[in-house]
Amino acid sequence: VPRQLRVGLIGAGIGRSLTPAMHMREGEHCGLSYRYDLIDLDARGLSVSDLPALIDEAEAQGFAGLNITHPCKQAAVALVDELSPDAQALRSINTITFHGKSRIGHNTDWWGFAESFRRGLAGVPLDHVVQLGAGGAGVAVAHATAEMGARSIEIFDLDPKRAQALVEQLQPAHDACRFSIGHDLVAALDAADGLVHATPTGMDAHPGLPLDGRLLTERLWVAEIVYFPIETELVKRAKQAGCRVLDGGGMAVFQAVKAFELFTGMRPDVDRMMQHFNSL
């Protein structure tokens, strides 16, 4: 009899998420009876205030763990007993594991971005990085870029308070990297090695480019995190400009790889998960 494992994803508007498919297929390959439920706040007419009850329910039903996504990643931090060190630095979790009566919160988004970056943009310079977007995902990817050895990261956000909050949150955790709030994007890109994009621009619901496309020159590498669609306007333009480009798919796969490890205690086959994701 295969080992039974039940997990789920809590978030809003997650009907098209590819994460359940990735987990269940890999679980099957690993000989598990792996069930991954979508717990969609929108579909159930619920809100973030229902999160405590939803987590209690999953725990009572014997789930091994949960993935947590927008708009619950920050609220979930207060609902676990322990945080991994990364989750503590990020104050945001996308994974909960249940251990008897205790719950541990993890953040696999930042590692997902870092692992995708190490594979897709190996060896690129990281002296000066420009990042657009300082929301929840922006905090995770800026942490990842600093962990990978960036010396300076200049943050731009349409809402300057969010850029400021990111800098104040991450600077104390990274002595070797200088975080700053960007003011002049043209000058910043002129001095930059690469660009990280972490705003929703380019998603099906927010089409377009997050910056003037003429600022993309072949000198820059470009790392995108939007992955609906995989080929965003930014990815297209950056390729046309001759940049080394990373799309957002790798981050989506690798956050799932790490969550799978946390839920199952097993090492998934990364290439197989990547291939499956690309076929979805």
What is the contact surface with ligand NAD in residues (CB under 6 A)? 70, 109, 112, 132-138, 156-159, 162, 198-201, 203, 210, 225-227, 248, 251-252, 255
- Shortest distance, position 137 Cβ to ligand NAD, whole Å: 3
**Structure-token pair, residue 192:** 């930059």
Residue 202 beta carbon to ligand NAD: minimum distance, rounded to whole angstroms: 8
- Alpha-carbon span 114 to 254, nearest angstrom: 9
C-beta of 32 vs 251, nearer to ligand NAD = 251
Q: Of 57 and 190, which has the nearer Cβ to ligand NAD?
A: 190
Distance CA 256, CA 239 (A): 27
- Greatest alpha-carbon pair distance for the chain in Å reads 62
Q: Which residue number has the CB closest to ligand NAD?
A: 135
Question: Least separation, in Å, of the C-beta of 4 and ligand NAD?
Answer: 28
DSSP string, 33-75: EEEEEEEEHHHHT--GGGHHHHHHHHHHTT-SEEEE-TTSTTG
Catalytic residue among 73, 161, 236, 258: 73
With respect to ligand NAD, which residue has the nearer C-beta, 120 or 135?
135
Pairing of strands 95-99, 102-106: antiparallel
Min CB(88)–ligand NAD separation in Å:
19
CB-wise, 104 or 142, nearer to ligand NAD?
142
Shortest distance, position 170 Cβ to ligand NAD, whole Å = 14
Q: State both tokens at 129.
A: 């990085």
Beta carbons of 137 and 266 less than 8 angstroms apart: no
Nearer to ligand NAD, 84 or 255 (CB): 255
The answer to whether the beta carbons of residues 71 and 11 sit under 8 Å apart is: yes
Question: How far apart are the C-alpha atoms of 8 and 16, rounded to whole Å?
Answer: 14
CB 215 within 8 A of CB 243: no
Q: Is 236 a catalytic residue?
A: no
User: Which residues participate in catalysis according to the annotation?
Assistant: 73
